[in-house]
Amino acid sequence: MDIVIFGVVWIIISALGEWFLHRIGSSQMYFLLTNQGNIALHAFNFLTTMLAPVFLLVIWWLVWTAFRYHADSPEPKQSRIQVTKNGLFTTIWILGSIVLNLLFWLHPTAADLEQMFATQLPSHQKNDLIVDVTARQWEWIFSYPQYHLSQTVNANGQDELVIPAHKKIEFVLRSYDPFHTYDVEAGVIHSFWVPAFGIKEDVIPGETRYEYIVANRTATYQTNPEVRVQCAEVCGPGHPWMESPLKIVTASQFKAWIAKQQKLQSS
């Protein structure tokens, strides 16, 4: 009878847990602008959906045991039921763990990583725009070699990143101080993170790394604070303020912005 009650209650709280997770997932909790971000969100939702019943099983087990089998008095006494091992339970638990781990390795891990890594294959390297990103303590510097722009800034002189929507973008990531070039490997590790992209890439001194995205719609930092470049690796006392606004604009707006930046740089 105990097993029946335990199982029925577990099924009920698992159903409630899945309903709650579905409600969170359908409430647009995350603001994502890229295919990679949607892949990562799908993986997260899949894992939480599959693991919620397992998590609730363990929690309910602890609660059930604490209340159902607690001692009525501090005096020791012989238990009515003596169980030293249960081969069926052990087998089910081990086999279930193996099946879940194999499933999660195949999907979403291997399947989703294959999609993400595909963006870095030579056959996909026909990018519409290349942006050089330089990380230094504590600043992001953006340059556009195709347009001969060495550093783009907004009206306040703050470094600014602007990219067109629906275009393939290649970010070339480096960590060094271009204003003190005595040692290009004397920087520290930063991490290029745009929350709305759903991915990030560490930027390491002495290495050149790459990130490829296609933004699926326009957005700005003013409309959503997740549309920004933020360092996600502790890099010193200025780390929390190492951020830059990001604008994702239409093709015509991007063309006008490039012309403005070229005019500023030539003046």
| Cis ω before 108 (30° cut-off from 0) | yes
Residue 184 placed within a domain:
yes
pLDDT, tens only, 216-232? 999 999 888 899 999 99
- Asked if 150 and 35 sit in the same domain, the reply is no
Cβ-based burial of 178 (10 A; exposed 0-12, middle 13-18, buried ≥19): middle
CA distances from 123 to 56, 208, 226, 260 (A): 45, 20, 31, 33
Q: What is the CATH number of the domain that holds 163?
A: 2.60.40.420
- Asked if 258 and 218 sit in the same domain, the reply is yes
- For residue 26, the model assigns a pLDDT of 55
- Asked if 104 and 135 sit in the same domain, the reply is no
- Asked if 167 and 218 sit in the same domain, the reply is yes
Total domains in the chain come to: 2
Residue 75 placed within a domain:
no
Strands 219-220 and 243-249: antiparallel
- Asked if 137 and 37 sit in the same domain, the reply is no
Mark out the alpha helices in the chain (DSSP H runs).
2-25, 35-68, 87-104, 111-118, 251-266
Residue 224 placed within a domain:
yes
pLDDT, tens only, 192-220? 999 999 889 999 998 999 999 999 999 99
Closest listed residue to residue 242, CA positions, set 173, 190, 181? 190
Residue 133 placed within a domain:
yes
- Asked if 97 and 47 sit in the same domain, the reply is yes
- Asked if 176 and 62 sit in the same domain, the reply is no
Return the percent helix, strand and coil in the chain, to nearest 5.
45, 20, 35
pLDDT, tens only, 15-71? 998 888 887 765 556 788 888 888 888 888 888 888 899 999 999 999 988 888 777
- For residue 201, the model assigns a pLDDT of 92
- How far apart CA 250 and CA 216 sit, in angstroms, is 11
- Asked if 195 and 244 sit in the same domain, the reply is yes
Residue 59 placed within a domain:
yes
Q: How confident is the model at residue 144 (pLDDT cuts 50, 70, 90)?
A: very high
Residue 262 placed within a domain:
yes
Torsion sign, CA atoms 82, 87, 92, 93: positive
- How far apart CA 160 and CA 51 sit, in angstroms, is 41
- Asked if 201 and 245 sit in the same domain, the reply is yes
* Section 139-153 average pLDDT: 93
Residue 80 placed within a domain:
no
- In which domain, by residue range, is 260 found? 127-266
Count the neighbouring beta carbons within 10 Å of the beta carbon of residue 152: 23
- Asked if 108 and 188 sit in the same domain, the reply is no
Q: Minimum mean pLDDT among 75-84, 196-205, 257-266: which range?
A: 75-84
Under 8 Å between Cβ of 131 and 218: no
* Section 165-169 average pLDDT: 92
pLDDT > 70 in the chain, percent: 93
Angle among Cα 125, 126, 128 to the nearest 5 degrees reads: 125
- Asked if 157 and 110 sit in the same domain, the reply is no
- For residue 239, the model assigns a pLDDT of 92
- For residue 22, the model assigns a pLDDT of 80
